[in-house]
Amino acid sequence: MTPPTGAVIYTFDGSSFYRKVDDGWQPWFGSKVEYTRDSVLESTEDYLDIGATTYEDLTITAIVFSRANRNTLQSKIGTTAVLGNSLSYSQDATLVSAKPIASGNSAEFWIELVFVRRPTGS
């Protein structure tokens, strides 16, 4: 199977796949800063505690190149490795879910992958 022209190719621990074309756009491990705001009693002041940056899971509806590739990805649940793509993004990540999806097209092998961002070098 050949990916469509311009498809972004992803790699994870030796496996390759590409994102389903109409999967929509999702930020690369979108981030936000956690905070707590506490009001001071009998005052107009408050304290703002800036916490850690947290990262969302990255979910990709992927198309793999064969049933064997899909089975290999399923066997990698719990594996931490570098997740990279052809746009030069890369990040250590742990694969936490890999669910096959029926595509309705016997020539395509779909799988929903969920990755959790890990600190670089983990």
Residues 53, 33: contact at Cβ < 8 Å?
A: yes
Mean pLDDT of 1-12: 83
Residue 3 confidence (pLDDT) above 60: yes
- Give domain limits for the chain: 9-28+57-117
Residue 112 confidence (pLDDT) above 90: yes
Residues 10, 16: contact at Cβ < 8 Å?
A: yes
Name the band, by pLDDT with cuts 50, 70 and 90, for residue 34. Answer: confident
Alpha-carbon span 41 to 63, nearest angstrom: 56
Q: In the prediction, which pLDDT does 121 show?
A: 62
Alpha-carbon span 102 to 18, nearest angstrom: 16
Residues 1, 65: contact at Cβ < 8 Å?
A: yes
End-to-end CA distance of the chain: 33
Nearest 10 degrees: Cα torsion 33, 90, 86, 97? -80
| Tokens describing residue 115 | 């990755």
**42-95 tens-digit pLDDT:** 778 887 788 888 888 999 989 998 889 999 999 999 999 999 998 888 999 999
Q: In the prediction, which pLDDT does 95 show?
A: 97
Q: In the prediction, which pLDDT does 79 show?
A: 97
